[in-house]
Amino acid sequence: MIEFVAHNLAPIMFGSLVIFLLLGYPVAFSLAANGLLFFVIGVELAPLSPDINLFWPLLGALPDRFFGGIMSNDTLLAIPFFTFMGLILERSGMAEDLLDTIGQLFGPLRGGLAYAVIFVGALLAATTGVVAASVIAMGLISLPIMLRYGYDRRLASGVIVASGTLAQIVPPSLVLIVLADQLGRSVGDMYSGALVPALVLTGLYVTYIFGLTMFNAKSAPALPPEARTLGGGVTSLIVALVLTIAVSWVASIYLEPEVHQGAVIWGAVIGVLLIYSAAVINKAFKLTIMSYLAQQVIIVMIPPLALIFLVLGTIFLGVATPTEGGAMGAVGALILAFGKRKLNIDLMTQAMESTAKLSAFVLFILIGARVFSLTFYGVNGHIWVEELLTAVPGGETGFLIVVNILVFFLAFFLDFFELAFIIVPLLAPAAENLGIDLIWFGVLLGINMQTSFMHPPFGFALFYLRSVAAKVPYLDRITGKRMEPVTTGQIYWGAIPFLCIQLVMVALTIMFPGMVMRYKGEQAPAEPANIQIQLPSIGGGNGFGLPPLGAPGGTGASPSGQNNPLGLPPLGLPAPAPGTGSAPAGGAAQPSLGLPPLQLGGPDANAPATGANPASGTGSDTSAPTSGANEPNGSSSAPAIDLSQPPSFN
């Protein structure tokens, strides 16, 4: 029994961790306690199994793993920055303004409020990166409005939960930061790879709402005319958009000779600033340059879009690292809150307290994961997991199917941070051995982990919405009607269609990896066989303008240097005189290097009498060997060599 435990310590250790988590123990303490317990067991059982590489001095590596691997990790600094930025924006009222304005813009359409919630959810995801902030903000603001105008409770709940979870995959996502850190890849590449799948997933949500309203219009009716307080004026908004594009294009053409890089970006900045200034002047002086709807949309939309560009644009352009981009985003959020006159001590205290709690939560899980991995790697657990996954039938496809099913079911019980710190480090080596790009693999796992917020009955986003949705009947403050509460079952059933859409997105990412692989760039490097190197002609007929190579005259040189492509100075190769028998009897050319003859047989050795080739500058009468010395059958007329005597040089 002891031998069985010693040889199977890795699966037993992993199984015990799952049991601890299912029993409800905190993740960080479960990881650390499990790692230390099995470290003691592994040290005692090490003599019984060659797979166990644990010994007591190995515990001395833990401080270095804490301080060198966690505390000094610059990538993790982006987590508190983006968390603080999101909390400031969520508490400054930006989400309320966006939902009200975009809801008015899409109000005349069936399902217009649902479109607005999805659109604003994507914007909040790109500015906050925190699922809890997005779901709670939209649950408080949009759910009463959607119920007021007759939206189906399941549809309203599902749209809010699904759009809030876009913060999982839309950059700058905290999940993508953690995944990049665990996979050992660049956060900027992870952001770039996740951008297109995030937009496609948002489009799938919109498509589902459109299809639902086509077959069941009562589930998502349009806003009545009396609810559209901003009035009409969509034409004015379209004209303003066209003018912005035109000004940006003209400015980019004008700046292109002056700006070597980024002329299009600077042109877009000029166009946006111009239209924003026009909207602000129109509002301040109560002009009629544009409609009230266009004015409000421009004033409300441009600041968060500018913040998104400040954060993501600088990262994608390579101007700033993700940590620096997060710092700029935090400062930008403070400026926006100050501009809305919402920045005060209470706001700062709440945001900093929540940021400290989330950052400490992440760091404690990381510390526990380091303790667990030290023991798990010491019992060759990573090899066990790698061999288990690479042995799955179907190769790469089978591996991806099994991994996604595993992550999907583990997401019923584990949070995305727990999945990222426990499961991803075990899956990454197997994926890399199968030749899977880790950025693509990370984005795929990020989309799959998004379902962890949507799983009934354990999805955290469902809990967030449940905490702010009405639990008892209430009177609507606008219409005065009695509104029924939203039940937990309605929230769960509303999330299931969007959960299926997320699984469809996982399949699309597997079938079309180019959506993610675009992060490598549009142009692939040229094949080595197609690369041609052309050197310029510096001077002279030989291409380099160097002096000629070889002896003048003779049969091997020509005055024009045709057989002298490099044109190097002569090396002192004397040309044989005509008629002196410069070639052996076999007809092979005998090179002459101008060196004294080599005699291996001592001073009295006899040289062949024929084929003499006198050396330049010497008086010796030594001959070259005859043709028989070079014949393969070994017949030769060369004299015997006395190896007992040292060679002599004359």
Q: Which tens digit of pLDDT belongs to each residue from 324-383?
A: 888 888 888 888 888 888 888 888 888 888 888 888 888 888 888 888 888 888 887 777
In angstroms, the first-to-last Cα distance of the chain is 84
What pLDDT, on the 0 to 100 scale, is given for residue 586? 44
Other beta carbons within 10 Å of 297: 25
What pLDDT, on the 0 to 100 scale, is given for residue 583? 44
User: Can you give the pTM of this predicted structure?
Assistant: 0.69
pLDDT-flagged residues of the chain (< 70): 1, 68-69, 128-130, 231, 260-262, 478, 521-650
User: Dihedrals φ, ψ of 161, to 5°?
Assistant: -65, -45
- 346 close to 327: Cβ distance less than 8 angstroms: no
SS percent in the chain: helix, strand, coil, step 5:
65, 0, 35
386 vs 282: CA distance, rounded Å: 63
Of the candidates 144, 113, 103, 123, which has an alpha carbon nearest to the alpha carbon of residue 296?
A: 103
DSSP state of 474: E
- 229 close to 288: Cβ distance less than 8 angstroms: no
167 vs 95: CA distance, rounded Å: 14
Burial category of 184 from C-beta neighbours within 10 Å (exposed 0-12, middle 13-18, buried 19 and up): exposed
Of the candidates 195, 123, 124, 201, which has an alpha carbon nearest to the alpha carbon of residue 516?
A: 195
| CB proximity list for 203: less than 8 A, separation 6 or greater | none
What pLDDT, on the 0 to 100 scale, is given for residue 208? 92
Q: Does 11 sit behind a cis peptide bond, omega within 30 degrees of 0 on the bond before it?
A: no
443 vs 431: CA distance, rounded Å: 13
In tens, the pLDDT along 19-59 reads: 887 787 887 888 888 888 888 888 888 777 777 777 788 77
